[in-house]
A and B are shown apart, each in its own frame.
Chain A
């Protein structure tokens, strides 16, 4: 076993410090060490997108990153979407209203990807939405309701300005 390394990072505005083996994946650190279990693991080989989190604003797949690579970075996970008082984020509201989920296992990953998309492209076209989501898998919904969720979330966010 290689010597442990210290990793310091910020998740949803909270600073964390952990001592991890260099081989530990980022998602195992988030879930196992920091107790942030809202990020899920669907494939552990970078294909499904369930483990997507935002690292310095960019969507990354936390199953194929090492925790030590995250040192110094700022993260956002699904736990960071709703307000501290429990008010849901417009993306979360949109998913509920448009039925963007069934089992909900893929949902945190999709929502983080959509968060990135709508930051950069507040009013995306259908093609832009599909391109953004084309690398993520949902086995339940057949995607139509996810697409609608994105449109609805975009409207809500724009209305908020």
Chain B
């Protein structure tokens, strides 16, 4: 049957909304602030062993021999593992695109520094690490392929011998009359840009405890899994086991941001457990392992961009050529980051034609992973620099050229050139809000005065889209399967009237359990304390995926409201029997099931649930004694892409407008953020404090990406930034605390009008800061085209300018 989801908070079955949309305290927090939350490294199982992994010191080498005998003989070492075991027991890793990977432990060759080569399980982590030093590996180094452009040449040495070249994927997508638009343009602007590798770095690295029951060949894994059910399916495929024999229990975890990684560590610990007779094997990735061989790195990009523009500033076409350095393999879904920009390719603008010339190339570096935002942040950076370049040449204010190109508010839902549909938006309103908060004209005057004093002060103003509610169909073009991503919940009311929601994902930081609690307390008219959310393993949970793709808030809202509605239908039948009326005559309001228009004939949800469980004599014949219901939600109306990859993929389009003012110290190249303003519109905010927190957190990550964070490899493929001393995360000193405004343009397509939220600032901040930097550099006639705009880069640029 078709479900009618409440379209707004007013449609909920209450006379006055009490919980949803309010910044209630998080149910997660008391456990967290007392140190009681069970992160994976807090879990110890009887007989548990500890794994340590030996990583390749070479970017590219043949493995001539591995001798584990000395390591195996160390007292305390229980078993060891090499690529031979992996070859015997597993399939090669699943990759997107397909066919670009090896086994979880290197077999004949290593292809990046940090690649797992061997592993041991011992009675303590200390002994396991001692044993690593006793492993004798003979390597024959091969020249590493480090430079993406060189790697993309047809005559380049190869990362994988069984491929013709290093090109993992190459395709030109053309949407509309691009060539014609460029020919007819009054102005064409071209520029090249570079975005260096950055990545997630959740404060907790990946961790796991694996058990292989060798009697029934079943697996149990506990760990910091972002997507436990998805990982469980992967293990069934890897080990060729029946999928119902693979049990994954996700522990609460210390952030993920898409880059938790852990596929290799999972399979390695499972094989070690198998060899150790089924003893549990724990592996907690250390930070240096995470940085050099984990889910840490993303977006290593070289861009050539051009735009076609009319005299009045209207952009008629956008061409983006991207060479994306994937590293050594296509494991871990890093390549999806290069495709996601298609979901918001032309940003907030009504640009009718566009082209994406996309090349994914293999090199001897760590394979890239997903990271918050999943790919558009670099794309937005280049698009927004082009808008400013055009504005300057046409003598338009940067805010004005954007305004002239925005998709007008009355044109939604709007299908962009690359095929995705934006649900709703008020881009001009958000821009106006930011300009007003900032006192834009005064700021520009301040800037003029600063410039007159010779100071390098600049302003960036940027609006972006946060595509929300990801769907697999966004990634069909690089080989992912399926349409739709069910997210389910089971809602149960017990005999005491307490409500339990069972979900398939663990705590990660976004406050989703709080949102579920708010929704259920609202729907059934209870206090927050009457609701509890529990995580269950993949074999017990309804279909689920977990957090990812700015999707869970919307998806879980759909699931909860669907389950609540189903449960209410059952309760309604019981109440109808009690009152001797038809179910249609019963309505739910403020936690009471009452006969319509006869308010005194009413029973509480709690009482009806208790009757169902304890008075079978009162049950209607078509109702089972189970006040529970399950519902899985997926985005409606998703289909396959057309031949140019165009598809309605992400269901919602949130919008953010950022304005930032910076000053560059010409003596050091250091950027100081002077002022920052944000207007953010992600539709209905289910818990505004959750949203605000995520905006601020993503802003910090955006500041890191723009100014500080960078994975640096040298010409030998050695990682030079393998510690937090070298990979610089923003601290409280670097992160601004902007004035923030909330606009609410509800989504017409989602339950309660909520949109995918939480990523908007990482989509916007790097672009805005880089626009501000380039505005500051304008008097010098130089342009910053590389991210991060670290002090050494800017200093050199400024020096170059004064040399001229």
Contacts and interface: CB of A to CB of B under 8 A. Distances in A.
Interface stretch (A3-11, A54-62, A73-81, A115-123): A73-81
Interface stretch (B320-328, B583-591, B729-737): B729-737
Interface string A75-100: 00111011000001000100111010
A104 B723 contact: no
A104 B509 contact: yes
A44 B694 CA distance: 26
Interface stretch (B137-145, B180-188, B200-208): B200-208
B126 A105 contact: no
B511 interface: yes
Interface string B735-758: 101000000000000000000000
B660 to A, nearest CB: 14
B42 interface: yes
A101 interface: yes
Interface in B276-321: 284, 286-288
B253 interface: yes
A101 to B, nearest CB: 6
A92 B30 CA distance: 8
B511 A102 contact: yes
Given A88-B30, A107-B33, A145-B696, A134 B733 contact: yes
Given A99-B26, A137-B203, A142 B700 contact: yes
B255 interface: yes
A81 to B, nearest CB: 7
B33 A43 contact: no
Nearest to B33: A92
A99 B724 contact: no
B280 to A, nearest CB: 15
Nearest to B201: A139
Nearest to B286: A44
Contacts of B255: 102-103, 105, 139-140
Contact of B724 (A40, A96, A133, A137): A137
A136 interface: yes
Nearest to B738: A144
A141 B32 contact: no
Interface string A130-150: 100111111111111111000
A113 to B, nearest CB: 11
Nearest to B34: A82
Which residue, B284, B286, B693, has most C-beta atoms of chain A within 10 A? B693
Contacts of B201: 139
B35 interface: yes
Nearest to A146: B732
Say whether chain B's binding surface is mostly helix, strand, loop, or mixed.
loop
B656 to A, nearest CB: 14
Contacts of A135: 731
Contacts of B25: 96-97
B266 to A, nearest CB: 20
A38 interface: yes
Contact of A102 (B36, B286, B697, B737): B697
Contacts of B508: 103
Interface residues of B, number: 52
A111 B33 contact: yes
Contacts of A147: 732, 737
A103 B35 contact: no
B732 A99 contact: no
B257 A139 contact: yes
B74 to A, nearest CB: 10
A47 interface: yes
Contacts of B733: 130, 134
Contact of A40 (B39, B510, B689, B732): B39
B699 interface: yes
A36 B35 CA distance: 9
B84 interface: no
Contacts of B725: 45, 47
B254 interface: yes
B41 interface: yes
B495 interface: no
Nearest to B727: A47
A105 B204 contact: yes
B217 interface: no
A103 B126 contact: no
A48 B696 contact: no
Interface in A8-67: 21, 23-24, 31, 36-45, 47-48, 50
A102 B419 CA distance: 35
B288 to A, nearest CB: 8
Contacts of B35: 36-39, 77-79, 108
Given A102-B255, A102-B694, A145-B696, A43 B287 contact: yes
Given A40-B39, A105-B203, A47 B724 contact: yes
A107 to B, nearest CB: 6
A139 B260 CA distance: 13
A106 interface: yes
Nearest to A100: B33
Nearest to A38: B35
B254 A103 contact: yes
Interface in B16-46: 25-26, 28-30, 32-37, 39, 41-42
A78 B731 CA distance: 22
A139 B732 contact: no
A95 B29 contact: yes
B59 to A, nearest CB: 23
Contacts of B37: 104
A102 B509 contact: yes
B732 A134 contact: yes
A110 to B, nearest CB: 10
Contacts of B694: 102
B76 to A, nearest CB: 9
A104 B28 contact: yes
B179 to A, nearest CB: 44
Contacts of A107: 32-33
Nearest to B732: A143
A21 B33 contact: no
A71 B791 CA distance: 44
B257 to A, nearest CB: 7
A45 B203 contact: no
Contacts of A50: 203
B482 to A, nearest CB: 29
Interface in B103-129: 126
B518 to A, nearest CB: 15
B724 A48 contact: yes
B693 A96 contact: no
Contacts of A143: 696, 700, 731-732, 735, 737
Nearest to A43: B287
B29 A105 contact: no
B91 to A, nearest CB: 33
B32 A145 contact: no
B284 to A, nearest CB: 8
Interface of B: 25-26, 28-30, 32-37, 39, 41-42, 126, 201-205, 253-255, 257, 284, 286-288, 507-511, 689, 692-694, 696-701, 723-725, 729, 731-733, 735, 737
- The 4 A-B pairs with the shortest beta carbon distances in the complex, nearest first, are A38-B35, A105-B254, A104-B32, A103-B509
Given A42-B287, A139-B697, 14 more contacts: A42-B203, A78-B34, A92-B34, A96-B29, A101-B32, A102-B511, A103-B253, A105-B202, A105-B203, A107-B32, A136-B731, A139-B700, A143-B696, A144-B735
15 contacts: A40-B204, A43-B724, A47-B725, A50-B203, A77-B35, A81-B33, A88-B33, A99-B689, A108-B35, A133-B732, A139-B202, A140-B509, A140-B697, A143-B732, A143-B737
